[in-house]
Amino acid sequence: MKIKTLKNFSVTILTISLFFATSTNASEIRLGMSEKQQYIENKIYNTLHPASDFKPYKFEAPEGWTLETLTLNNVGVERLKAEHPKTTRIILQLHGGGYTNGLTEGHRLLGAKQGMLIGAAEVYYVHYRLAPKNVYPAALEDAVAVYKELLSSGIKPEKIVVIGDSAGGNLALELSLYLKEKGISQPAALALISPWGTFEQNAPLRVKNISRDLVLGSKGFPLYQEVQVRKPSYAGNMELNDPKLSPIYADLRGLPPMLIQLGGYELFVDDGLSLINRALSDDVEATLTSYPGMPHDFPLLLPELHETELSLKEFRDFVERYL
């Protein structure tokens, strides 16, 4: 563990080995590096090329929770609600998918796990408008509308943690920047999984990790074309280095504490490093954790692996510090 202190705040960059911690979850899978890469490659291939008898996963609300669909400020939302909540904490989830793909069953599952871990009262999943039909600022407008409605309903901002993976991490940051600009109270914390920090495509590890990132790289999901080859459709006519698209260039002063979780082999490693350097230079408390050998968005796509269990525990501890 290496700790770097800058302007009275600290960043912890953790390199977590498979032997770093034990777990009470006997169902999680622990693999050595080479076995792990083969397992991930096989799973991603089978995801993209399902067998004829494949039955897709269907999320069901856990026992003691109810899932309902509603509209908040004209934005479609799903709310997972605890029947007997342990706290008044609220999760606002902004899903990933390159701004072109909608909410998945995996996002519902991840939000439920996170909600149960922190004893949340409610988890809100936002169905924001998607590109290419809807370009910037459509998704941001929808996220803002939902956040404002939560505050109007009496939910305290200091009880909200905003979670975003990939493009959702980008959106979470842009939401927080908008709130700062408009003088609206910030959430208590931001939890960012593999955040898309810049729409630019020339960062060194965007090239080096193309073959190693088995999810977002050229061997993985089709979203590789959206984030690394052609101009991202959500950008519309905007410049790719505009801080409204690329928060690594924004003034982050005044934003809440943030947790950044990365896969060591993913395309967005440089995004995360640039983001935490910017956060620390702007006096934002931030922690970045890199999980060796893991691809983009692994807590979402590889829930069975030991590294995902570790990332969820880190998220729980992060929330305990700030909410």
Cα 238 to Cα 10, 242, 245, 246, 288: the distances in Å are 34, 7, 8, 11, 29
Q: Which of 226, 266, 285, 309 is catalytic?
A: 266
Reply yes or no on whether 296 is catalytic: yes
Reply yes or no on whether 166 is catalytic: yes
Asked if 163 and 172 touch (Cβ cutoff 8 Å), the reply is yes
Q: Which of 107, 122, 166, 307 is catalytic?
A: 166
Q: Which of 95, 107, 296, 306 is catalytic?
A: 296
Reply yes or no on whether 127 is catalytic: no
Catalytic residues: 166, 266, 296
